[in-house]
Amino acid sequence: MSSTEQAARPLSQTAQRGPLARFARTYSLQIGIVFVAIVIWLLFLAGSPQTFLSRNIYAAFMSSTPYFALMAIPLTLVVITGEIDLSFPSVMAFGMTAFDIVFTATGSVMLGFIACLLAGMLAGYLNGVLVVKIGMPSLVATIGTQFFWRGAVMVITNGQGLGMGAVQKSILYPGLVHRIGGFVPMQFIWTIIFAVVVWFFLNRHKFGAHVFLTGDNVESAKLMGVNVGRTKTLTFVIVGFAAAFAGFVVSEDLLFFWPTMGDGYMLNTLASVFLGGTSVFGGMGTVFGTFVACFIIGAINAGIVAAGMTGFWTNLIYGFIIVVSVSIQTILGKRLR
């Protein structure tokens, strides 16, 4: 046997364990989350077959999960850059306040919708400025803006809600919340669109490459010429946009805007991102993981309701999920290091 053949042997051996093992390793996070989803679903199915065999629960599921999945998917980007955004629940309401103002002034739903999205982006941009330009830790900056925007919403609306009946005549109603075939809600389709678009930019575009690099090692990224500040700011703007969009979808679906809207979205959104395997330490995460995790969280919520437990349980369980999934990440991370 020649020496080159000898040298080549270990190589071909790894190749033999090859594609399947490599696939499993590369996508271990995604496989894990799908596995968790299936187990939880089977548990619910066994525990409450009536509920989980009926169509209704899945219809409810597809209409309410997008409320926070629309935000959790883009929030994944912020978390991958190593930052966090806690202001999105208030930004939902802030966007709708902009809608309120513009709609009341002009009577145009479309203009109101555009104002809503712009307001969300503005709020996201402000987070970016505080974190990137001022240099505040994002945890503190976005707690601050969370209260600030909620306060602004309350001051502007004087705590008054807005009936959204007029929206039903706008194209945005069928466009965003229509039930296709009376079953699949449009917001579910939009969630899939968000997931595909964010996945594309995260994994197939320079922007996403820079998101990973920024979160992985900000110093290396800067040394190698990645515009870290712009990358972070953009992720905040995207979350702001998504929060305003989600706020509009929720208000439109419920045909009412409450200025307190967004309360109650914090934990399930964050839990989805972390349960989905995105690292709190930055540099790692998948859109697919977040997407599946959103539906796990949604199922747990449905399960709690179906089991007749009080809503108090949801916070307990979401909190538990956040702590456990981040603990697992931390332990796995240490092992790898």
CB of 288 to other proteins, least distance (A): 17
CB of 198 to other proteins, least distance (A): 15
CB of 220 to other proteins, least distance (A): 4
The answer to whether 245 touches 187, Cβ cutoff 8 Å, is: no
Q: Judged by CB, which is closer to other proteins: 10, or 135?
A: 10
CB of 271 to other proteins, least distance (A): 23
Residues that bind other proteins (CB under 8 A): 10-11, 13-14, 22, 26, 204-207, 209, 212-213, 216-217, 219-226, 279, 283-284, 336-337
- The span from the CA of 312 to the CA of 278, in Å, is 26
The two tokens of residue 151 are 């306060």
CA angle 155–142–311, rounded 5-degree value: 75
Q: Judged by CB, which is closer to other proteins: 125, or 207?
A: 207
How far, CA to CA in Å, does 259 sit from each of 71, 95, 162, 170?
18, 10, 9, 22
Q: Judged by CB, which is closer to other proteins: 178, or 206?
A: 206
CB of 87 to other proteins, least distance (A): 27
- The span from the CA of 302 to the CA of 60, in Å, is 9
Q: Judged by CB, which is closer to other proteins: 29, or 122?
A: 29
Neighbours of 135 (CB within 10 A): 8
How far, CA to CA in Å, does 110 sit from each of 115, 184, 195, 294, 337?
9, 24, 24, 29, 51
Q: Judged by CB, which is closer to other proteins: 27, or 313?
A: 27
- The span from the CA of 15 to the CA of 324, in Å, is 35
CB of 274 to other proteins, least distance (A): 17
Q: Judged by CB, which is closer to other proteins: 22, or 133?
A: 22
- The span from the CA of 279 to the CA of 268, in Å, is 17
